[in-house]
Amino acid sequence: MQSVSFFYGVIDAAAIRRSSMIILLSLLISSCSWLGIKNNSDDYLTSDSIPRVTIPEGLDTPVFTDALIVPAVDDARGLTGVKVTVGLPDPLSTATGVEQIVIRKLGEDRWVFIDTPPAAVWPKIRLFWEVNNMELQSADARRGVLESVWLASVAGEPDKVFESLKSGVAWADSNATVQNKFRLSIEAGIRSGSSEVHLEHKQVPRGAPVRQDTANWNGTSDDGEIEAKVLSELAYFLGETIPQGFSISQGAMNISSSRIELLPDRIKPVLRLQLDFDRAWATVGKALGDASINIDDRDRTSANYYILYDATANQKAGFFSRLFTDEATLGEENKYQVHLESHEDGVHVIINKDQTNLADPLVAERLLKIIKEHSS
């Protein structure tokens, strides 16, 4: 019993010493102001620039480089001197999974849309061709472009063609009668952190005199059904493999420029889409629909969507705003025009109140943000 009592006594003494040290450190830290020690962590907020060091004559003058260059503020909204509440920034994509992956189609063009950045999609695309025994002629990660060699296959139904393509060049199908070549390109999607994958297919009779390293790429596939089949298989493959784990292609990190940009302005804010007009028109229309903004009418000739929008409602369209907004109560004051204009740098989206007047700039910017968030 005596040894046990002694053991507990040692523990208690050690605990007391640790507690005493913690209390002492706390008192020292909290009493910095008593000792004349000032917390200057925020002094940089009021600091000014100082002149450069003057080098005496006769001595070498080093090349000075500013450690931090503060850019001029572009006060597009005219908010200088106005106190505003800043909201949370747009979330960054973490590329940890696939929120959405679909095959989109506009006219004869189709592509895979995927909610994952190109740098994370590119390695999976390379893997798709490898596991399906479809040899590549070239693959340029920086440009986001790859080409297959001429692949022998049977002709006919897309399913049979794809199965024949998977036999590989070295083990080509003995019944093969045609040769196929594919060109895939990946680019940043409209939505931040997303990708678009496009595919072009060329086909010639087997044995036809063709250059082995290239084809006549003109933006149109020789067989749209085979293009659609390969894109569909690729979409399923990406949907299955990306959630299992991903790697980043350093080269494909360059494929990151956004194709949609909001340009604030105190009079006329603009949403700029780096798309052709047909694609921009379809994108804006789909974004308005996805945001549950009522499209009263549309005129492709004048490039106008006529909408009903309650500017006093919740800024971000969502389930509850749709639930409690009665479109029957929206009147003349809720009518706006979403107008598209073609420019050298892309298609500009502008919010007008009517044919002759711009919308209130704050209302216009809010609407353009909604369109931007729902564009894909």
pLDDT tens string 286-341: 999 999 999 999 999 999 999 999 887 654 445 445 445 555 567 788 999 999 99
Q: Using an 8 Å Cβ cutoff, are 227 and 183 in contact?
A: no
- Give the start-end residues of each E strand in 247-371: 260-263, 270-273, 294-299, 304-308, 335-343, 346-352
Q: Indicate the pLDDT class of residue 113, thresholds 50, 70 and 90.
A: very high
CB 148 within 8 A of CB 225: no
Residue-level pLDDT at 1: 44
Structure-model confidence comparison of residues 260 and 315, the more confident one: 260
Exposure string (b/e) for 193-231, b if CB count within 10 Å is 16 or more? Answer: bbbbbbbbbbbeebeeeeeeeebeeeeebbbeebbbbbb
213, 79 Cβ separation under 8 angstroms: no
Distance CA 130, CA 167 (A): 12
Q: In this model, does residue 84 exceed pLDDT 60?
A: yes
- What residues have CB less than 8 Å from 55, skipping those under 6 apart? 61, 62
One-letter amino acid at 27 equals: L
DSSP string, 51-119: PPPPPPTTS--PPP--S---PPP--TT--TT------PPPPPP--SS-S-EEEEEETTEEEEEESS-HH
Residues in the chain: 376
The domains found in the chain, sorted by start residue, are: 101-254 (3.30.310), 260-374 (3.30.310.170)
How far apart (Å, rounded) are the C-alpha atoms in residues 83 and 192?
Answer: 29
Mean pLDDT for the stretch of residues 5-25: 56
Over 60: is that where the pLDDT of 95 sits? no
Taking only the tens place, the pLDDT of each residue in 152-209 is: 999 999 999 999 998 765 456 678 899 999 999 999 988 888 899 999 999 999 888 8
pLDDT tens readout for residues 264-286: 998 999 999 999 999 999 999 99
